[in-house]
């Protein structure tokens, strides 16, 4: 005799399909929560001046300012991350597919600066590097919000 | 008696996860990826259920070792962040695979 309901409390194929549709929608919804528009520009603005600590004088005041600068930088990054995640309600680590457009240019810039440091004997090189990396990070924000496949899936629903 | 093809899809089928709200909770947390977390209020909003219902279902999943709760007090309010444990992710993935097998017959 053909059974109407599968054994062991398993759903029917139709019920299983409905359950899968629900889970897919939810997964897309949550993964599609966008990083706030201010997040990457704020991060870029904090990173950009970081290189200035390399041109501070080797005086007690300069050394104190260096440590203060590093502490301020770390505090600012943590605060940005904290408020960004709090606003989103989701902490999702971005994938390599989403983030290579920021990591690859930053890597290229860093390698270029390292190579240039053999020729240019100036700490202003690192000031320029951090400023350039700051710009890349800031620019990544709008690019990411426009191109992330997770956001596109969510927008299309 | 015919052999029900769905019974061969039983591997990985998880009755604990399959309850409607618990399946949705796992789906929402799965979206945050490995190491990710979703705030309790966000899960509640996405699932459109009351806090008490969500809390009860989360407790069941925590009891099974599938979900981890991270409580933090901010601005004098307690915020709860939820995440799938390693076992929870594996169980959810196996359950989804079992559901797909049922659909595909």
Contacts with A6 (C-beta within 8 Å, 6 or more apart), sequence order: A12, B4, B6, B7, B102
Please name each of the domains of chain B with its CATH number: 16-97 (1.10.10.10)
CB contact under 8 A, A20 and B42: no
pLDDT, tens digit, for every residue of A116-150?
Answer: 999 999 999 999 999 999 999 999 999 999 998 88
Alpha helix stretches (DSSP H) within A32-95: 39-47, 60-88
User: How buried is residue A14: exposed, middle or buried, by Cβ count under 10 Å (0-12/13-18/19+)?
Assistant: exposed
DSSP E strands, chain A: 90-91
Within an 8 Å CB–CB cutoff, is residue A94 touching chain B?
no
Tokens of B77: 């309010």
CB contact under 8 A, B46 and A20: no
Within an 8 Å CB–CB cutoff, is residue B84 touching chain A?
no
Structure ipTM over 0.95, yes or no: no
* pTM, 2 dp: 0.83
Put simply, the chain B residues between 43 and 62 with a CB less than 8 A from any chain A CB are 45-47
Is the pLDDT score of B9 beyond 50? Answer: no
Tokens of B76: 């004098």
Chain A residues in contact with B69 by the CB 8 A cut-off are none
| Helix (H/G/I), strand (E/B), else coil: B74 | strand
Q: What is the pLDDT of residue B102?
A: 92
Domain residue extents for chain A: 35-149
pLDDT, tens digit, for every residue of A64-81?
Answer: 999 999 999 999 999 999
Nearest to A39 by CA among A94, A91, A77: A77
């Amino acid at each position: 005799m053909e059974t109407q309901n599968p054994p062991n409390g398993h759903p029917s194929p139709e019920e299983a399909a409905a359950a899968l549709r629900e889970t897919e929608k939810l997964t897309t919804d949550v993964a599609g929560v966008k990083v706030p528009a201010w997040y990457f520009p704020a991060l870029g603005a904090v990173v950009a001046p970081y290189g200035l600590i390399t041109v501070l004088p080797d005086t007690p005041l300069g050394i104190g300012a260096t440590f203060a600068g590093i502490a301020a930088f770390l505090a600012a990054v943590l605060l940005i991350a904290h408020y960004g995640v709090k606003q989103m309600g989701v902490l999702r680590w971005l994938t390599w597919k989403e983030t290579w457009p920021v990591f690859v240019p930053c890597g290229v810039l860093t390698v270029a600066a390292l190579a240039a440091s053999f020729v240019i004997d100036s700490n202003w090189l690192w000031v320029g590097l951090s400023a350039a990396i700051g710009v890349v990070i800031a620019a990544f924000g709008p690019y990411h919000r426009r191109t992330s496949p997770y956001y596109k899936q969510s927008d299309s629903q | 008696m015919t052999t029900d093809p769905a019974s061969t899809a039983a591997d990985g089928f998880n009755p604990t996860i399959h309850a409607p709200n618990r399946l949705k909770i796992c789906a929402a947390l799965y979206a945050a990826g490995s190491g990710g977390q979703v705030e309790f209020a966000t899960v509640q909003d996405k699932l459109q259920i009351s806090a008490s219902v969500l809390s009860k279902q989360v407790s069941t999943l925590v009891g099974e070792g599938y979900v981890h709760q991270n409580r933090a007090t901010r601005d004098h309010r307690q915020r709860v962040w939820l995440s799938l444990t390693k076992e929870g992710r594996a169980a959810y993935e196996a359950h989804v695979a079992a559901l797909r097998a049922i659909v595909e017959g």
